[in-house]
Structure 1
Amino acid sequence: MTAELVETGGGEIAVAVDLPPLILDLTRAWLWSFDSVNTRQAYERNIRRWFDFCAETGLDPLEARKPHGDVFARWYAENAPRPPAPKTVAQLLAAVSSWYEYLHETDAIDANRFKKVKRPKIPRKHSETVALTKSEAQDVLREADRDHGREQLRTSAVIRVLLQVGLRVSEVVDAQIEDLGFARGYRTLRVMAKGAKPLVRRLPVETVYALDLYLAERARREGVEMKDLTGPIFVTGPGRPWPRTKAWEMVRRIAKQAGIQSKVGPHTLRHTYASLALDGGASPRQVQLDLNHEDLATTEIYWQARDRLEKDTSQLVASQLE
């Protein structure tokens, strides 16, 4: 087997199997057909896993059939660091099928035989992510505000943007100084939401205060006026863009310091935003718009993920049997 490199928006992927130059070029085009960098990176990782499987089993990807896809799903589940969630496996298979569909649509292959590979069933209204309670969310904010180290102000600002505005972590780390603005007397933040859609969000006073403290300190370090700052809002100590992986690590650390035992990530804070907004009287439609959900059913999932624990009728039944 020879190694080729396929350049993508997310970097490079090592192809562990021999593929004709035309297929390599089409793979590049397929990856670039997705607007979102995050989507390109996710599909890049998943197609790499498929190529790894093909290399390990001696399979020519262009000769793959439905049974190979079925075996691949089991191979991935058994070789993953931890048992993957059904949704993860389904997304993996969907990515590979998308690649074959692109090759078919460009007449590189005669059919997408991967299309009928059996995928795990994902309940429409199911989510593994559970929102924090109001008390837990308050604990996270307090812990962020008293974080230690030179990046304490950044921690406080990021946690508030995630929790009080409900943005995706990619939207936060990609936000630029020039995206901060004013509209009708409100401080705003313009983000590029999922699907390459521009979205302008109003910032709460508490979030603005934390942001201003952080940006004032950042300007002092860089030796410029706050109005002269440029580039990403959130940066590393040396002033480089702050990686999304570091944001994940920070959120998990703060949640742990706040005494929350369950696994918490940036998306947990987004779920919490939706849950608290609905609990506070916001309409599902308004929360849907704030979170840039295409389907209202997605917004309902965020609420029900926590509600199904609070409203579980097991306690009602058990109390009647005492």
Structure 2
Amino acid sequence: MLEAPRPGRREPLWEQQLRGEVMLLGPSVQQMVWAWLLHQRSEHTRAAYGRDLREWLAFCNERDLDPLMVTRGHGDAYRGWLQQVHGLAARSAARKLAAVSSWYSYLVEESVIDANRFKGARRPETNRKESKTVGLTESEARAVIRAAALDHGRERLRTAAIIALMISVGPRVAEVVDLQVSSLGYERGMRTVRIVGKGEKIRTRQLPSEAGVAIDAYLAVRGRTPGPLFVTATGKAMHTRDIAHVVKRVARQAGLFMPERVTPHTLRHTFATLAEERGSSVRQIQDALGHASADTTEIYLHAPKRLENDPSVQVARVLW
């Protein structure tokens, strides 16, 4: 099982909720739930899979379904429930179905069930060239950097360091949270940041001097004691939601249009699109972002061009 609650340890909400659902199941299923989650290397992947599995088990419990006896039809019903009842977008529903299917594949590997019948459930149609997240323009990115540097309060230097790092290097928000002071270094005369990505894959990135200056100013206040790089006022590691709050607040202060839509992932897209505009290849950007497939990188790069390259403008020029 995952680490049991103990004095001084705050159990994550997803873990509490998942425990409530598995309590209604037999010991063997309970064991396989926790074993599969422990099988995930990343804490963030474990939390995401845990939330997805909790929803599926709740769906089964409410309908008196034995999770070990489900068929493709049950998976199809669950897909419909996610999209029609909960209004999930196709991509989000597909991700949740993939997470549940991964659990069943694990059960097959462990000889708990003979086949992953859930795997046959029809996934929602998704447009692999479409992304709801679009990066900032160059002027918008500069406005965000200026707003972060002029942020107020005791956390101003931390804000500036976070924004500078995310826009110039493009890490995932979970990767930012996981950064340690020891992640910073030097290699071949260049400043570097060591990022631990999905699947514990490590990539060492060059840290631009501008981001390095912002981080040094922050460390002068934080101190260089070992531990998480970005910490709260109480010295604890920041959570992904803390970073999201910082990004959204700075977007408002920068005067961006619809700042509520700006997220940490927006800054990651911004890095990708600005890098391409300055001549970086898809392969270079893929390596920098830690994408397993160039197809994913292509989605990042296609999204901002979709409107600019829309042929409607050329057609209108002919007609008016």
Same topology, TM > 0.5: yes
- Offset of 1:21 from its aligned partner? 1.3
Partner SS, residue 127 of structure 1: coil
Moved more, 134-143 or 17-26: 17-26
CA distance in 1, matches of 2:231, 2:114: 48
Moved more, 234-243 or 59-68: 59-68
**Match in the other structure for 1:14:** 19
Q: Give the one of 74, 77, 88 matched to 2:80.
A: 74
- Offset of 1:79 from its aligned partner? 4.3
Please tell me the residue identity of whatever aligns with 1:35.
Answer: R
- Offset of 1:59 from its aligned partner? 2.0
CA distance in 1, matches of 2:254, 2:180: 29
- Equivalences for residues 43-122 of structure 1 within 5 A: 43-80=49-86, 83-122=87-126
Q: Is the 8 A contact 2:83 2:90 kept in 1?
A: no
- Offset of 1:77 from its aligned partner? 2.7
> Is 1:23 matched with 2:29?
yes
Give TM-score scaled by structure 2 length. Answer: 0.91
**Match in the other structure for 1:245:** 241
> Is 1:171 matched with 2:175?
yes
Q: Is the 8 A contact 1:131 1:306 kept in 2?
A: yes
Q: Is the 8 A contact 1:8 1:32 kept in 2?
A: no
CA distance in 1, matches of 2:226, 2:21: 41
Q: Percent identity, aligned pairs only?
A: 47
Q: Is the 8 A contact 2:79 2:124 kept in 1?
A: no
Q: Deviations over 1:241-278 (max 9, x none)?
A: 11111101111121122222341111111111010011
Query: What RMSD, in angstroms, separates the aligned Cα atoms of the two structures?
Result: 1.8
- Equivalences for residues 275-290 of structure 1 within 5 A: 275-290=273-288
Q: Deviations over 1:2-31 (max 9, x none)?
A: xxxx63799522242532212211111211
- Equivalences for residues 142-153 of structure 1 within 5 A: 142-153=146-157
Please tell me the residue identity of whatever aligns with 1:169.
Answer: V
- Offset of 1:185 from its aligned partner? 1.5
**Match in the other structure for 1:272:** 270
Q: Name the count of aligned residue pairs.
A: 307
> Is 1:218 matched with 2:234?
no
- Offset of 1:297 from its aligned partner? 2.2
CA distance in 1, matches of 2:297, 2:75: 32
CA distance in 1, matches of 2:132, 2:192: 31
Partner SS, residue 200 of structure 1: strand
Give TM-score scaled by structure 1 length. Answer: 0.90
- Offset of 1:78 from its aligned partner? 4.0
Name the CA shift for 1:311/1:8 in 2 (closer, same or farther; >3 Å).
Answer: farther
Please tell me the residue identity of whatever aligns with 1:30.
Answer: W
Q: Is the 8 A contact 2:195 2:203 kept in 1?
A: yes
CA distance in 2, matches of 1:317, 1:119: 36
Regions of 4+ moved over 6 Å: none
- Offset of 1:189 from its aligned partner? 1.0
Runs of at least 5 residues in structure 2 that lack an aligned partner in the other structure: 5-10
- Offset of 1:289 from its aligned partner? 1.5
